[in-house]
């Protein structure tokens, strides 16, 4: 089976940093994805990790530890437009299993 | 490229009615997927296809059917709609199953069954 856990909600102030954790226990693993989903919209791709370590893309970074079954998404210099749900997804073969998502609210 | 398109955007069905949710992609992607997303939940895989003529069940296939007669189209059929099928349905596609190839999502169909 697939078990992917992430916090339900997080709140942070504009300009701050927020870290969204994701832990997973899955029957197979060949990559971990983070998606951003604004309310009423489709998910859009943010980042991909398959090897241990940190991947940085502008204000967003994602980290993976395969031995711990753990990933995090780091959002720096938060902006109001970053208010959204962030979905952690693990790929096994060609299928993705998603966590329930973390709703991030950015306050002025 | 239009990417992944879905129709309709919204639909209200009565219990027992049937309908087809359309999904088309113009990126020549081999892999296509149907998900449903309930409020506050992640996406659950309903059906997927690894190429024209090949489909398989995902995590929550009951009450749904699919077909894949062309690379571009992957319609989802609901027979005998039930209130439990009230959800947002997303279609997605990806070129390959490896590397950093991500899934691209359509805009979604918001379905209510009353």
Residue of chain A minimizing CA distance to B47: A95
**Is the predicted pLDDT of residue A43 greater than 80, yes or no?**
yes
C-alpha of A100 from chain center: 11
**Quick check: A39 contacting B, CB < 8 Å?**
no
Binned average pLDDT, 10 residues per bin, chain B of 114 residues: 93 97 96 94 94 95 97 96 97 84 93 96
**Is the predicted pLDDT of residue A70 greater than 90, yes or no?**
yes
Find the mean pLDDT for residues A48-71: 96
Residue B96 is predicted with a pLDDT of 79
Residue A1 is predicted with a pLDDT of 65
Residue A69 CA to residue B72 CA, distance in Å, equals 36
Residues of A in contact with B103 (CB under 8 A): 45, 96
**Quick check: A87 contacting B, CB < 8 Å?**
yes
- To the nearest whole Å, the CA of B111 is away from the closest chain A CA by 13
Asked whether B88 and B18 are in contact (CB, 8 A), the reply is no
CB-based contact B100 A31, cutoff 8 Å: yes
């Amino acid at each position: 089976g697939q078990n992917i856990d992430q916090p339900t909600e997080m709140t942070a102030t504009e300009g701050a940093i927020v870290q969204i954790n994701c832990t997973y226990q899955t029957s197979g693993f060949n990559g971990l994805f983070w998606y951003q989903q604004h309310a009423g919209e489709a998910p859009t791709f943010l980042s991909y990790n398959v090897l241990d370590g940190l991947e940085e893309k502008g204000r967003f970074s994602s980290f993976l530890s395969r031995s711990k079954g753990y990933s995090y998404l780091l959002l720096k210099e938060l902006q109001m437009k970053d208010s959204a749900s962030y979905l952690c997804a693990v790929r096994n073969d060609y299928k993705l299993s998603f966590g329930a998502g973390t709703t991030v609210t950015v306050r002025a | 490229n239009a990417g992944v398109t879905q129709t309709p955007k919204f639909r209200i069905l009565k219990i027992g009615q049937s309908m087809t949710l359309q999904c088309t992609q113009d990126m020549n992607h081999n892999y296509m997927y149907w998900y449903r997303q309930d409020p506050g939940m992640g996406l659950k895989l309903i059906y997927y296809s690894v190429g024209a003529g090949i489909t398989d069940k995902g995590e929550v296939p009951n009450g749904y059917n699919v077909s894949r007669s062309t690379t571009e189209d992957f319609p989802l059929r609901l027979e005998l709609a039930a209130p439990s099928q009230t959800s947002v349905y997303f279609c997605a596609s990806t070129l390959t199953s490896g590397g950093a190839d991500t899934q691209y999502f359509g805009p979604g169909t918001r379905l209510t069954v009353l």
